[in-house]
Chains A and B, each alone.
Chain A
């Protein structure tokens, strides 16, 4: 190939050479990432452009691969909880809950109502936190900086609440198999309620800044349209699927952790474009607030962990230090891991990014034989190869922002 007419621009590294452009054409290979503000993490896109028009887009992943599934096979069930924090690191609490529910499903453990309510509250708080960030950076991707400041301030308040509950702002590791790490602190629910009262003010501000903003609408409406059939074929879940008009929310369709007790609506979109995905998210924040308020108003008393699951849940510290039986129980669970019967189970939870699934195969004992993590971001991103061609290069920013993925979960 002596007469190379393909122009090449590289952002990040030169791997775009692999994306061969036709000889003699004016097509250009463009590489974005793996470290680029648009890609929200370490995603790399190899694109072929015709002028400003994207003709081909190939996502390259794996830059954040840590082998979580291999790690899971080498440690006890409770030891893996911190690793779930690092999947979707914008909603660690929701991951913790999804993982705990999977193992409990296989063990046949049912946690008490109080624990279920705690889990619902933290899941919805995680959803709010994730959506706030998602909407904020989406606005930023579309050129509107200000909303991010509002959403980030609110998210900070949530993180203070998380810290009070779990001891950590970011890597919460809050659930245990058969319960949670500790009961809710005194007065914490009131502070959550107070936050719920204040948040609508901020979301209204964001809506004022974005929803009827001419520039924002011009940049997002009709961009990145996904048809309902495509969305299903590519395995999209979560707000991205619902924005396409598909009414699938596992909290309604396969209720877990007592979600069937709460009254809430599932917003769905009509066109499946970037604008719809934004609208669905902002409405989901409001619905999450509804759920939290109901859960707090109806907050059950009683035990906050499965007391009868003696081989699975280590008892609270004060009991360990005062009773021989509990001391032995704690020792066995810490050294051998929670004893889970042989079998297999699949569980999906409706996480902020979509359906986070765990496929767990156990041969008995305290260590999983195989744990597959079905990451919603991974599936949601797979449509990009089909979605991006035909759009302008400037639209890729908006499309990526609207898909709201997290690479920690995508690459695992």
Chain B
């Protein structure tokens, strides 16, 4: 049971924790430097062994501490969730946060996604690269200053402008529609993605 006593004991055992009053589940504020140790303790001693979610919040470009990482853990014994908020500090361009993938392998992909969307670099992560966007993508789209339709450029694609009224470039079609080369070695002529987009107006290359 997660009751007053449980919370009191947890807070007294870990002096760095602060209670964050939320209506649904027990929510704790934990400093980033203590998160690894605390997560390990939660997993091994407090039965919160299922990391269900890890994500981040962008508190806006003018916030003092712009990014915070949010974890949700589930305990099958308590049959309840626990939420941890942890600030990434005052850094707003390339914030850092310790990786939890050693303790929870599930965190591996969640952290990659958080990096992909917010640009939070998880230190000691075994494979810190983008997971949803393509590797060369230059932006972090879930940051609040990123516009919904994308960042405008000087040389937008005409067909995209026509449809969206936003002067942006389309995403590359890597892995998109497939074309096959007519000659050459078979391993080269297999149908493959062509890094080019085509529309009704611009014919698909043969």
Cα–Cα, bound, A12→B176 (Å) = 10
In contact, A361 and B57 (Cβ under 8 angstroms): yes
Q: B12 interface residue, CB < 8 Å from A?
A: no
In contact, A233 and B187 (Cβ under 8 angstroms): no
Contact residues of A between 24 and 76, Cβ < 8 Å to B: 34-35, 42, 44, 61-63, 65, 67, 69-71, 74
Tally of B interface residues using CB under 8 Å: 45
Per-position 1/0 for B83-120, Cβ under 8 A of A: 10000000000000000000011101100010001000
Q: A357 interface residue, CB < 8 Å from B?
A: yes
In contact, B22 and A343 (Cβ under 8 angstroms): yes
Q: Which of A14, A69, A74, A374 contacts B192 (CB 8 A)?
A: A14
Q: A190 interface residue, CB < 8 Å from B?
A: no
Q: Which of B81, B131, B148 contacts A74 (CB 8 A)?
A: B148
In contact, B134 and A67 (Cβ under 8 angstroms): no
- Chain A residues, Cβ within 8 Å of B176: 63
How extensive is the interface on chain A, given as a class? Answer: 35 or more
In contact, A42 and B106 (Cβ under 8 angstroms): no
- Chain A residues, Cβ within 8 Å of B131: 61-62
Q: Which of B3-11, B28-36, B46-54, B159-167 contacts A (4 or more CB under 8 A)?
A: B46-54
Closest Cβ of chain B to A102, distance in Å, is 10
In contact, B175 and A34 (Cβ under 8 angstroms): yes
In contact, A235 and B50 (Cβ under 8 angstroms): yes
In contact, B24 and A345 (Cβ under 8 angstroms): yes
Which of A346, A370, A374 has the largest number of chain B CB atoms within 10 A? Answer: A346
In contact, A248 and B76 (Cβ under 8 angstroms): yes
Contact residues of A between 186 and 245, Cβ < 8 Å to B: 232-235, 237
In contact, B190 and A11 (Cβ under 8 angstroms): yes
Which of A13, A44, A71, A237 has the largest number of chain B CB atoms within 10 A? Answer: A13
Q: B70 interface residue, CB < 8 Å from A?
A: yes
Per-position 1/0 for A400-412, Cβ under 8 A of B: 0000000000011
Which of A8, A11, A347, A374 has the largest number of chain B CB atoms within 10 A? Answer: A374
Closest Cβ of chain B to A21, distance in Å, is 15
Instruction: Give A63's nearest chain B residue, CB to CB.
Output: B175
- Chain B residues, Cβ within 8 Å of A13: 174-175, 178, 190, 192-193
Closest Cβ of chain A to B13, distance in Å, is 23
In contact, B79 and A254 (Cβ under 8 angstroms): yes
In contact, A359 and B142 (Cβ under 8 angstroms): no
Q: B25 interface residue, CB < 8 Å from A?
A: yes
In contact, A348 and B52 (Cβ under 8 angstroms): yes
Please name the 7 residue pairs, one residue from A and one from B, whose CB atoms are nearest each other, closest first.
Answer: A235-B106, A62-B132, A13-B192, A374-B53, A372-B55, A382-B109, A65-B132
Measured CB to CB, the residues of A under 8 A from B are 8-14, 34-35, 42, 44, 61-63, 65, 67, 69-71, 74, 105-106, 232-235, 237, 246-248, 253-254, 343-348, 355, 357, 359, 361, 369-370, 372, 374, 378-379, 381-382, 386, 411-412
20 extra interchain contacts, Cβ-Cβ under 8 A, other than A246-B76, A343-B23, A346-B72?
A12-B190, A12-B191, A13-B175, A34-B175, A34-B193, A35-B178, A61-B131, A62-B132, A62-B134, A63-B176, A69-B117, A74-B148, A233-B104, A237-B52, A248-B76, A253-B76, A343-B22, A369-B57, A374-B53, A381-B109
